[in-house]
Amino acid sequence: MARRKTSTSISSGRPSWFVYGALAVVLATAIFPFYWSFLIGSGDQSTIYDQNMSWWPGGNFLANAAAVISNPAVSFWKALSNSIIVSTTTAVSTVVLSTLAGFAFAKLRFKGSGPLLVAVIATMAVPVQLGVVPLYILMQKFGWTGSLGAVIIPALVTAFGVFWMTQYLSQSLPTELIEAARVDGCSMIRTFWHVGLPAARPAAAMLALFTFVTTWNNFFWPFIVLDPKNPTLPVALSLLQANYFVDYSLVLAGVLLATLPLLLLFIFTGKQLVSGIMQGAVKG
Amino acid sequence: MTTTLQRPDRPTDEQRQSGGKAKLTLRQRLGRWDVKYSPYLYIAPFFIVFGITGLFPILYTAFISMMDWDQVRNTGEFIGLDQFAFVLQDREFWIALRNTFSIFLLSSVPQLIVATFIAAMLDQNLRAKTFWRMGVLLPYVVAPVAVALIFSNMFGDKYGLVNSVLNDLGFQSILWHTDVIPSHIAIATMVNFRWTGYNALILLAAMQAIPRDLYEAAALDGAGTSRRFFSVTMPQIRPTLVFVIITSTIGGLQIFDEPRMYDTYGLGGANKQWLTITMYLYNTGWVKFNFGRAAAVAWILFLIIVTISLVNFFLTQRLIASDTVAKKAKPKQKQLSASKGGK
């Protein structure tokens, strides 16, 4: 690097090559496990035991992937479509219901709004594990165990979502806009629809993205409540290991296959994820 | 009135007080109800969902934890605190507690240190900022289950990548799936892989909110790069660091996915080397089908998390209170964040 940093120009100068080198190492660490999976997943059963294993991928990835997909114990397509259904439904409902509640908390004044908001925030600290036994008994009573509803319903709206939207709307939605809509004779719900929702869009998109990713990766509760024959992708992955525990080429091909949708999502929305995390940090 | 928003065609307060209620048209009355009750309607979904799937189960957990629960009949027999006594006398529970804390410490401490340094590097005036930030975040989108499968392969006892590298470097193989601490290190590595970049971005946001003139002033006073980092950056991001510590405590003490998928049996190893509390809870409830005892474990776990969080909280208060530099710069920081949020 031609430009050298002097001690006085802290914010203007470009950092040294050392910083780029160190970041490149971090990046390599982040990517390496994927490459390793591809290396093993594109070989055959014996690749992992080969002392002089090549660092160049083999040619069996598609065959291994096909073997995973066609394995009846894993029910890959079912798992994929279940994951899409669960994550999409949860993301949409969380965004709509959180925005609605956030709109009320941020911009409407009503009796008890303060304590109620505190109650919402307090519930964020409660771990999932605490209620998991009775929740399971409840689902059994409703006859929902094994169905996707058992995974979707508890996740329809989250305290985090409500908190997030309240924060955002109280900062970015001018109260005058709501008043103007009310003067024009809009009902509350139309005010929400035409003023609240458009203003909430950036934060809502972020919330949708995070809810989608979190739900997609969720394992504990789906693992408990879902049937192995009707799994989400992480549950199917856990079955993969139980079925193929000797053949890592199939296990890791399956892992890559199941990770692919989120990697694609990341390529297109990674920028938003980054700014979502950074904005959340500044506010939280 | 409980709302600030008023329709222009609404009757004034005097009109209403002088028996104006009868004069209201249906439309006006609907409008009043709309203003008064709509907010409750909007927040209702959250409280209904939370009531059914959150609050009720929590209270019911307390009830079930004092029961000898019958899986078939779905009823229980009251036995007081026996389940708690059993759990607290169970050797496996204490092993699980030890493992949970050990994995938590091995994952949170190195992770925070590395995340802080990554954040400091990202805070430089880099070319292709977005590229580096995205790269650091990449592992976050991978499911913990997938991460666990990849890493448990790399940490294989006989043919794992880590051991063959160790052998090539002239070291002995480490029994990652047999010995206690190595198994904890392997599992902690999975957690670190997934969360370091995420936390680095949170810390980066805090670093970017630091007023640049603080650095200029420090530089004028002759502070070098490392001195600026420890005397300006660190005190300034301390509140955020504590926030990260608390959230990773809550998450870390509940760890399940990674240790569960660390071997094919999912029971925490032959000698429970990597059995965690949540795994113990799962095994009690859905392997041994003892719901009463599992509920007791849930409450114990909850109390542990609350205790640790409170300890963290009080530590935080003291840390922040003792930090005068951070206090002075705070108003500025707030302004910055407000302008960012309102863009």
Confidence band of B333 (pLDDT split at 50, 70, 90) = very low
A142 in any annotated domain: yes
Contacts of B182 (CB under 8 A, 6+ apart): B174, B175, B176
Task: Please say whether the beta carbons of B79 and B67 come within 8 A.
Answer: yes
What integer pLDDT is reported at residue B325 of this predicted model?
44
- Does residue A134 belong to any structural domain of this protein? yes
Q: What is the CATH number of the domain that holds A231?
A: 1.10.3720.10
Share above pLDDT 90 across residues of chain A, in percent, rounded to a whole number: 26
Mind telling me how many Å the CA of A75 is from chain B's nearest CA? 17
Q: How many domains does chain B have?
A: 2
Q: What is the pLDDT of residue B317?
A: 64
- Cα separation, B190 vs B173, whole angstroms: 20
Give the count of domains, chain A: 1
Which residues, at least 6 apart from A33, have a Cβ–Cβ distance to it below 8 Å? B139, B147, B150, B151, B154, B193
**Residue B50 sits in the same domain as residue B114:** no
- pLDDT computed for residue B343 by the predictor: 29
Tell me the residue range of the domain where B116 lies: 87-341
Who among B209, B212, B341 is closest to A172 (CB)?
B341
Q: How confident is the model at residue B340 (pLDDT cuts 50, 70, 90)?
A: very low
Of B142, B313, B203, B121, nearest to A216 by C-alpha is: B142
Residue B188 burial (CB count, 10 A):
23
Containing domain of residue A215, as a range?
A: 74-243
Determine, yes or no, domain membership for A173: yes
Q: Is residue B168 within a helix (H) or strand (E), and if so which, with residue range?
A: helix B161-168
- Is the residue at B219 inside a domain? yes
- B29-64: pLDDT as tens digits: 777 777 778 888 888 888 888 888 888 888 888 888
Task: Please name the residues in contact with B241: beta carbons below 8 A apart, sequence gap of 6 or more.
Answer: B112, B116, B203, B206
Q: Which of A35-49, A192-206, B180-194 has the highest mean pLDDT?
A: B180-194
Residues B49 and B133 in one domain: no
pTM, to two decimals: 0.84
Q: Are residues B187 and B44 in the same domain?
A: no
Inter-chain CB proximity A237 and B149 less than 8 Å? yes
pLDDT in tens, A52-79: 667 777 777 888 888 888 877 788 899 9
A153 CB neighbour count, 10 Å cutoff: 20
**B296 and B218 share one domain:** yes
Residue B7 belongs to some domain of the structure: no
Are B239 and B108 in the same domain?
Answer: yes
Burial class (CB in 10 A: 0-12, 13-18, 19+), A249: buried
Residue B232 lies in a domain: yes
**Inter-chain residue contact A265 with B141, CB threshold 8 Å:** yes
Tell whether B297 is covered by a domain. Answer: yes
Q: Does residue B92 share a domain with residue B56?
A: no
Tell me if A31 and B138 make a contact (CB, 8 A cut-off).
yes
- The model's pLDDT over A2-26, given as tens digits with 9 standing for 90+, comes to 444 444 444 456 778 888 999 999 9
Contact A140 B74 (CB under 8 A): yes
Q: Which of B190, B176, B184, B195 is nearest to B101 (CA)?
A: B184
A56 domain residue, yes or no: no
Q: What is the DSSP letter of B142?
A: S
**What residues are paired with B75 via a beta bridge?**
B70
Say if B1 falls within a structural domain. Answer: no
Looking at chain A, which residue has its C-alpha nearest residue B33? A188
Give, in degrees to the nearest 5, the angle at Cα B289 between A233 and A71. 30
Q: Token pair of B253, please?
A: 């003490």
CA A199 – CA A38 distance, rounded (Å): 43
Q: B124 in contact with A at a CB cutoff of 8 Å?
A: yes
Residue A51 lies in a domain: no
Nearest to B265 by CA among A255, A229, A242: A242
Contacts 24+ apart (CB under 8 A), A70-76: A71/A243, A73/A228, A73/A239, A73/A243, A74/A236, A74/A239, A74/A240, A74/A243, A74/A254, A75/A229, A75/A230, A75/A231, A75/A236, A76/A236, A76/A254, A76/A257
Whether A185 and chain B come into contact, CB under 8 Å, resolves to yes
Mean pLDDT, to the nearest integer, of A272-283?
76
Residue B78 lies in a domain: no
Tell me the H-state helices in A108-184.
113-123, 132-142, 149-152, 159-172, 175-183
Of B187 and A239, the structure prediction assigns the larger pLDDT to B187
In whole angstroms, give the CA distance from residue A108 to residue A105: 6
Residues within 8 A of A (CB atoms), B 178-237 only? 193, 197-198, 201-206, 208-209, 212, 215-216, 219-220, 224-225, 228
From chain B, pick out residues whose CB is under 8 angstroms from the CB of A277. Answer: 137, 198, 201-202, 205
CATH number of the domain that B275 lies in?
A: 1.10.3720.10
- Say whether both B163 and B59 belong to one domain: no
The answer, yes or no, to whether residue B171 has pLDDT greater than 80, is yes
Distance between CA atoms of A23 and B293, rounded to whole angstroms? 48
Q: Rounded to an integer, what distance in angstroms lies between the CA atom of residue B227 and that of residue B222?
A: 9
- Residue B169 φ/ψ, nearest 5 degrees: -85, 0
Q: Are residues B36 and B180 in the same domain?
A: no
CB-facing half-sphere around the CA of A208: CA atoms within 13 A: 16
Q: What share of chain A is helix, strand, coil (3-state, %, to 5)?
A: 75, 0, 25
Point out the least confidently predicted range of A144-158, B179-193, B230-244, B303-317: B303-317
Q: How far apart are CA A208 and CA A87, in angstroms?
A: 9
For residue B60, how many C-alpha atoms fall within 13 Å in the half-sphere facing its CB? 19
